[in-house]
A and B are shown apart, each in its own frame.
Chain A
């Protein structure tokens, strides 16, 4: 069977539904609604219309020659998801799930968010469709992504800072699940990544695979061939699955996921789940995760809130286990250097998340050589990260007041 045809609940030994019984009915309902929507032309007409006229799809690809000069001269093409409305790939998934929410007749949506991009996208869709919206966000993240908190609130969403556990994305998901268990009759959980219980990994992947489908055509049109490598950052892994999927059965195309290595994969402070974790169950799926010998989840660390997650989508665990995709770690320092390099060579400020992929590609380009073509998912823009970057690079004048 073609790798592209996997639809869950299992991807090899990974995936499933490790959730309280109270959620099964809602997951079944979503699965049925999603299978029906997938084959309903009216659903696709509506979604495609939104993607064209609201999001601004298709997103372009941009060749970055001055940046590529630092990557051994490989040809580097950026898939510009940063140019989407709301500033990242997250909106692709959210609009699909918001339409699905309407189809199943629910009026309230909840979401978890790390960097705030998924939360902003969900708040945006909720505003567009007139849905009540609550976003759970770890307290640590509400502090380092304060701008996105303000955006969500301006859009009419309620943002609830989560103060349990590590106070990051993992704990935001726990609280969102508790809310869902309690309010499942009125509420749909718009999950932001390809992790979680079935149908989320397959459904979010299906809603993000447009990234790879568009860019596969665009690279063929520009270069006359498929790329040698496709690269993306991986936290939960939705932008990576989105761009990988169209290429899964193109065996000549290498797939590279770059995980957040924080201070380094050999230090205790990283979020390199596949590189350093082992299989277990977290947030409803069997997948690789960072855990101690008792199976307690270990807190992850990354300068990027969006990659600061100790789990990963089960389809990535599967692609890694069968050798179809390769996952590598990129440190905070390497990612921030790449963020600055792309800014200064190309005039594009990437999200810190996406900068992990860029940093990985600088090395990958040198390995693959000057004749190679590398497609990179620029999953988000860096506006939200100006405070972190400003502090990191000491860019903000002492005494300056930030609004």
Chain B
């Protein structure tokens, strides 16, 4: 049913897990953001998390804030997001999830947004500031269109809330590795391991861990217990300092962390 779920399952069944790579649309330019997304897909990223720049990104740390502010300053529009999904999915098979704060979707119209995302070839949405409690409209629209809906789970979430996140999510559940915002960290919190175990108890099929992961070694560690590892700031940093070539190189290196143990 879900291309994202299928990709993750395939990787898990092969003895490892999936690498999910985040990049924002429109950074450093629209064209380069499309090229970069294609390049990381060709370098071993299994699922693309494509970020829509937003004026008030409360879940993002300095690296992603700076990139998305620059994209906005250069005239990013929501229509560019759909166009980017179309351009990427024309070139690679890798499923593309949009990561978006909720107000742009609300403003666009939830049903219309879902329809346009389907038309563009997108797989679904990751919604960092939409909890299932407030997500009724999106649950209906994603049910109708078959889009994936990735909700977040945090170390502080109650068992009941984890259960709800597992029930309503499709594609995967985004396990927040640590209490905090996006950005590279030297050690990914042990809280992630505990959270994934609790998500398993709640019956999760796929869960990917994000926040703070920036090296192949960390990817490998996370995949010991989770179904996927999500990397964002490290890719954005590579893109901003070394362009498409550099981000492809970093993605290929991160992907070595997903090779099945010998």
Interface on A for B, CB 8 Å cutoff? 16-22, 24-26, 28, 164-165, 170-171, 174, 177-178, 181-185, 280-284, 291, 293-297
Contact = CB atoms under 8 A, between A and B. Distances in A.
Interface in B77-124: 77-78, 102-108
Contacts of B104: 294-296
Contacts of B54: 296
A12 B3 CA distance: 39
A26 B106 CA distance: 25
Contact of A20 (B61, B65, B72, B152): B152
A180 to B, nearest CB: 9
Nearest to B162: A21
Contacts of A282: 56, 103
Given A20-B129, A26-B156, A174-B57, 18 more contacts: A16-B134, A17-B133, A18-B130, A20-B128, A21-B154, A22-B180, A170-B56, A181-B58, A181-B59, A181-B181, A281-B103, A283-B58, A294-B77, A294-B78, A295-B103, A296-B54, A296-B72, A297-B103
B131 A17 contact: yes
A270 B237 CA distance: 36
Contacts of A280: 103, 106-107
Given A164-B69, A296-B104, A24 B131 contact: yes
B156 A295 contact: no
Contacts of A25: 154, 156-158
B190 interface: no
Interface residues of B, number: 39
A294 B108 contact: yes
B56 to A, nearest CB: 5
B108 A20 contact: no
A28 B128 CA distance: 18
A139 to B, nearest CB: 14
A284 B105 CA distance: 15
B176 interface: yes
13 contacts: A17-B134, A21-B157, A21-B165, A28-B158, A165-B56, A165-B69, A174-B56, A178-B59, A178-B181, A280-B106, A280-B107, A281-B103, A295-B103
A295 B134 contact: no
A19 B154 CA distance: 12
Residue among A16, A174, A296 with max Cβ neighbours from chain B (10 Å): A296
B176 A22 contact: yes
A31 to B, nearest CB: 13
A214 to B, nearest CB: 36
Contacts, number: 107
B106 A281 contact: yes
Contact of A281 (B102, B153, B179): B102
B120 to A, nearest CB: 16
Nearest to B59: A20
Contacts of A21: 131, 151-154, 157, 161, 165, 176
Interface of B: 54-59, 61, 65, 69, 72, 77-78, 102-108, 128-131, 133-134, 151-158, 161, 165, 176, 179-181
A195 B8 CA distance: 40
A182 B107 CA distance: 29
B150 to A, nearest CB: 11
Contacts of B77: 294
A170 B65 CA distance: 15
Given A20-B152, A24-B131, A291-B103, A297 B55 contact: yes
B205 to A, nearest CB: 19
Contacts of A284: 129
Contact of B107 (A164, A283, A294): A294
A241 to B, nearest CB: 22
Nearest to B155: A22
Contacts of A182: 179-181
Contacts of B129: 18-20, 281, 284
A177 B58 contact: yes
A191 B155 CA distance: 24
A21 B65 CA distance: 19
B56 A18 contact: no
Contacts of B65: 164
Nearest to A170: B56
Residue among B56, B69, B103 having the largest count of chain A Cβ atoms under 10 Å: B56
A295 B76 CA distance: 12
B16 to A, nearest CB: 27
A28 to B, nearest CB: 8
Most buried by B among A16, A21, A283, A294: A21
Nearest to B180: A182
A165 B179 contact: no
A297 B101 CA distance: 12
Contacts of A28: 158
Contacts of B165: 21
B162 to A, nearest CB: 10
Nearest to B54: A296
A16 B69 CA distance: 27
Contacts of A181: 58-59, 179-181
A54 B262 CA distance: 70
